[in-house]
Amino acid sequence: MKNMGTKNQLGDMPKEEFIKYGYELIDWAANYLERIDSLPVLPDINPGDIKAKLPQRAPQSSQSMDDIIPDIEKIITPGVTHWQHPNFMAYFSSSGCGPGILGELVAAAFNTNGMVWKSNPASTELEETVLNWFRDIIGLPKEFFGVVYDSASISTLHGIAAARENAGLNVRTKGLCGLPKLRLYCTEHAHSSIDKACLTLGIGMEGIKRIASDKNFSMIPSELEKAIKEDRAKGYTPFCAVATIGTTSSTAVDPVNEIADICEKENIWLHLDSAYAGVTAMLPEMKKYFKGLEGVDSFVVNPHKWLFVPLDFSILYIRKPQILKQAFSLVPEYLKTSVDDVAINYMDYGVQLGRRFRAIKFWFVLRYFGIEGLQARLREHIRLGQLFAKWIDEHPMFERLAPVPFSTVCFRAKPSGWNDEKKLNELNERLLNEVNATGKVFIVHTKLNGVFTIRMVIAGLRTDEKHVELAWQIIKDSLNKILVD
Ligand SMILES: Cc1ncc(COP(=O)(O)O)c(C=O)c1O
pLDDT at 261: 98
pLDDT at 184: 98
User: CA–CA separation, 21 vs 196, rounded Å?
Assistant: 42
Atom of ligand 1 nearest to the CA of 274: 1
112-356 CATH pick, 3.30.70.141, 3.40.640.10, 3.40.50.2300, 3.40.50.80: 3.40.640.10
Query: Is 443 within 8 Å of 471 (Cβ atoms)?
Result: yes
Note the residue count of the chain. Answer: 485
Q: Residue 308 pLDDT > 80, yes or no? A: yes
Is the beta carbon of 273 within 6 A of some atom in ligand 1? Answer: yes
Question: Which amino acid would we find at residue 332?
Answer: P
State whether residue 302 is helix, strand or coil.
coil
Query: Is 397 within 8 Å of 413 (Cβ atoms)?
Result: yes
Q: Residue 250 pLDDT > 60, yes or no? A: yes
Q: What angle do CA 113, 160, 139 make, to 5 degrees?
A: 80
State whether residue 219 is helix, strand or coil.
strand
**pLDDT, tens only, 263-299:** 999 999 999 999 999 999 999 999 999 999 999 999 9
**pLDDT, tens only, 32-67:** 999 999 999 999 999 999 999 999 999 999 999 999
pLDDT range class, residue 180, cuts 50, 70, 90? confident
Q: What is the pTM of this model?
A: 0.96
447: left (phi over 0), alpha (psi -120 to 50) or beta: beta
What average pLDDT does range 328-341 have in this prediction? Answer: 94
Is the beta carbon of 193 within 6 A of some atom in ligand 1? Answer: yes
Query: Is 350 within 8 Å of 149 (Cβ atoms)?
Result: yes
Q: Give the residue, out of 191, 196, 358, with the most ligand 1 atoms within 8 A of its beta carbon, to mutate for a pocket test.
A: 191
366-484 CATH pick, 3.40.50.2300, 1.10.10.10, 3.90.1150.10, 3.40.50.2000: 3.90.1150.10
Q: What percent of the chain has a predicted confidence (pLDDT) above 90? A: 96
Q: How far apart are the first and last CA of the chain?
A: 57
pLDDT at 300: 98
pLDDT at 381: 98
User: Across the strands, what pairs with 311?
Assistant: none
User: Across the strands, what pairs with 238?
Assistant: 183
What average pLDDT does range 79-98 have in this prediction? Answer: 96
Is the beta carbon of 152 within 6 A of some atom in ligand 1? Answer: yes
Is the beta carbon of 151 within 6 A of some atom in ligand 1? Answer: yes
pLDDT at 178: 84
pLDDT at 3: 61
pLDDT at 485: 81
pLDDT at 475: 98
Q: What are phi and psi of 126, to 5 degrees?
A: -70, -40
pLDDT range class, residue 181, cuts 50, 70, 90? very high
Is the beta carbon of 124 within 6 A of some atom in ligand 1? Answer: no
112-356 and 366-484: identical CATH topology: no
**pLDDT, tens only, 192-233:** 999 999 999 999 999 999 999 999 999 999 999 999 999 999
pLDDT at 5: 57
Is the beta carbon of 249 within 6 A of some atom in ligand 1? Answer: no
User: CA–CA separation, 65 vs 151, rounded Å?
Assistant: 32
Query: Is 264 within 8 Å of 275 (Cβ atoms)?
Result: no
- Mean pLDDT (the chain) is 96
Give the gyration radius of the chain's Cα atoms: 24
User: CA–CA separation, 350 vs 159, rounded Å?
Assistant: 10
Q: What is the DSSP letter of 246?
A: S
pLDDT at 1: 56
Find the farthest-apart pair of alpha carbons in the chain and give their distance in angstroms, rounded. Answer: 76
Is the beta carbon of 84 within 6 A of some atom in ligand 1? Answer: no
Atom of ligand 1 nearest to the CA of 92: 14
Domain boundaries, the chain: 112-356, 366-484
Instruction: Specify the residue with its C-alpha closest to ligand 1, atom 7.
Output: 152
